[in-house]
């Protein structure tokens, strides 16, 4: 087998054709792999963006149907256990006076109530009422039916998707 020479920066270098062919094939595979990876990442980014937009629209439709604002719903979801109003304001990153207004509106609707803290009567605990618990449960239910493509997946596919999402979110 003959060798050939390539000029690079005014110096001549001896190259073996077999090595060049192997290196070129490896570089081509590497380029195809990198291009495939970029395409896959872009497809995932688009898919996640569309999913986020669809989930936001679904969430907003559900809030509208329940006549709730996002801060009101967030308040309800944060009350798995009773919490002081000041702590709730910190969780929601809002001023305590804003928390008072949120609590007033939710209390008027019968979704939460204020109770005195048994350890400190000066502190008011926000507590979900049975109606509030029911509403939170309804808001979080039936997502499968509201995302048309999700309902077409088999049980095994939904389990696999859930597992992948948990892994992506770092929850496993």
pLDDT score of 27 more than 90: no
* pLDDT tens, residue by residue, 82-109: 999 999 999 999 998 999 999 999 999 9
| CB 85 within 8 Å of CB 76 | no
Mean pLDDT over each residue of the chain, to the nearest integer: 84
State phi, psi for 122 to the nearest 5 degrees. Answer: -75, -20
- In whole angstroms, give the CA distance from residue 30 to residue 40: 15
Q: Provide the pLDDT for residue 29.
A: 66
For Cα atoms 49, 141, 148, give the angle at the middle one, nearest 5 degrees. 50
What is the rounded distance in angstroms from the CA atom of residue 146 to the CA atom of residue 62? 10
| Cα of 101 vs its chain's centroid, Å | 29
Residue 126: is its pLDDT beyond 80? yes
pLDDT of residue 8: 47
Q: 70-139 has which fold?
A: Arc Repressor Mutant, subunit A (1.10.10)
Q: Could you state, in order of their start, the residue ranges of all structural domains in the chain? A: 70-139, 143-172
- pLDDT band (50, 70, 90) for residue 113: very high
HEC letters along 70-104: HHHHHHHHCCCCCEEHHHHHHHHCCCHHHHHHHHH
């Amino acid at each position: 087998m003959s060798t050939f020479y390539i000029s690079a920066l005014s110096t001549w270098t001896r190259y073996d054709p077999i090595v060049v062919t192997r290196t070129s094939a490896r570089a081509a595979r590497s380029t195809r792999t990198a291009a495939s990876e970029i395409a896959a990442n872009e497809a995932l980014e688009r898919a996640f963006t569309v999913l986020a937009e669809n989930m936001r629209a679904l969430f907003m439709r559900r809030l509208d149907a329940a006549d709730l604002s996002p801060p009101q719903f967030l308040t309800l979801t944060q009350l798995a256990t009773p919490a002081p109003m000041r702590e709730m304001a910190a969780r929601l990153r809002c001023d305590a006076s804003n928390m008072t207004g949120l609590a007033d509106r939710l209390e008027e609707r019968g979704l939460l109530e204020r109770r005195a803290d048994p350890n400190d009567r000066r502190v008011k605990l926000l507590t979900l009422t049975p109606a509030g618990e029911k509403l939170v449960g309804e808001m979080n239910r039936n997502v499968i039916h509201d995302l048309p493509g999700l309902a077409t997946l088999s049980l095994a596919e939904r389990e696999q998707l859930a597992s992948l999402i948990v892994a992506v979110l770092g929850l496993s």
